[in-house]
Amino acid sequence: MKQLKAIYKAPEAHWVGDGFKVRSLFSYSNHGKLLNPFLLLDRAGPTKFKPTNSPGGVGEHPHRGFETVTIVYEGEVAHHDSTGAGGKIGPGDVQWMTAAKGILHKEYHSKNFAKNGGILDMVQLWVNLPAKDKMSKPGYQAITANMIPKVQLANDWGFMRVIAGDYNGTKGAARTFTPLDVWDFYLKIGGAITVPAVQYRYVGLIVLHGEVILNGKQVIKESELAILDKHGEEFTLEATKDSVVLYLSGEPINEPVVGYGPFVMNSREEIMQASLDYSHGRFGKMQS
């Protein structure tokens, strides 16, 4: 049985651009080190936006050395990047962008969402790449909700989705560079389940909505992050409210992590090179 290592409350929110009110639940510079290869998790929302003709968002910016994974639970987010890829994602959809050797992109509210207003509720993860893949070709996976395998839980206690990885033989929708599991659970109040886990991997649990009890004793409240110890191959969750829980676990990449802003590499020299390449326009150009 995997045991609780620690529970972390969400910090105060801050704005990223004018479109995303974010709480950073972990990063590679703090307790997120245990969740390697996951580098960072930003919880955006739920935030209510008024109707407008000027969609909020984040302007053009670069990334190198990792992947960004955006999961939308409510609202709509649009995106386009310097490879020419892009599109719109809504409730249940996932955008899996591989920055690798370098990419420019923008993220913003869709025109329809901005026009009508509403609740924006989403998560963005940064996922590290091993050194051998950091300078590979950028890529983009548009994963719509109907592409994500859904597993019904016993006793009609809800369902879970396999975004990436493997849940009891059900394979996830996303292609990944290293073994990792990204699942989300939709639990009905009173639902009690046993969740499989990989021995010698830490597990991160983020309660996006509701409240759950871990292993029959520890309460994890909404917007809290629980990290489970690496020993053990399962744990239990009981929902005291209708709940949505994000599950993260991966095979660690045992390499140095050196980050600066939008770049995450293995050495200070590589970070300096990334900054130089960006300033010299080597990340491509945004298409209007």
pLDDT at 282: 93
pLDDT at 118: 97
The predicted-structure confidence for 239-268, as pLDDT tens digits, reads as follows 999 999 999 999 999 999 999 999 999 999
pLDDT at 117: 97
Mean pLDDT of the 132-157 span: 96
Question: At residue 221, does pLDDT exceed 70?
Answer: yes
* Residue among 19, 27, 55, 25 at smallest CA distance from 43: 25
Confidence of residue 86 (pLDDT cuts 50, 70, 90): confident
pLDDT at 285: 87
Query: Read out DSSP for 116-163?
Result: H-EEEEEEEEEEE--GGGTTS--EEEEE-GGGS-EEEPGGG-EEEEEE
pLDDT at 288: 61
pLDDT at 34: 97
Question: At residue 18, does pLDDT exceed 80?
Answer: yes
The predicted-structure confidence for 164-201, as pLDDT tens digits, reads as follows 999 999 999 999 999 999 999 999 999 999 999 999 99
Question: At residue 287, does pLDDT exceed 80?
Answer: no
Those residues with Cβ within 8 angstroms of residue 77's Cβ, 6 or more apart along the chain or in another chain: 70, 88, 89, 95, 107, 108, 109, 110, 113, 120, 122
Do residues 124 and 42 make contact, with C-beta atoms less than 8 angstroms apart?
yes
The predicted-structure confidence for 91-121, as pLDDT tens digits, reads as follows 999 999 999 999 999 999 999 999 999 999 9
Question: At residue 64, does pLDDT exceed 80?
Answer: yes
Express as a percent the part of the chain with pLDDT over 70: 99
Confidence of residue 284 (pLDDT cuts 50, 70, 90): confident
Express as a percent the part of the chain with pLDDT over 90: 96
The predicted-structure confidence for 24-42, as pLDDT tens digits, reads as follows 999 999 999 999 999 999 9
Q: How far is CA 277 from the centre of its chain?
A: 27
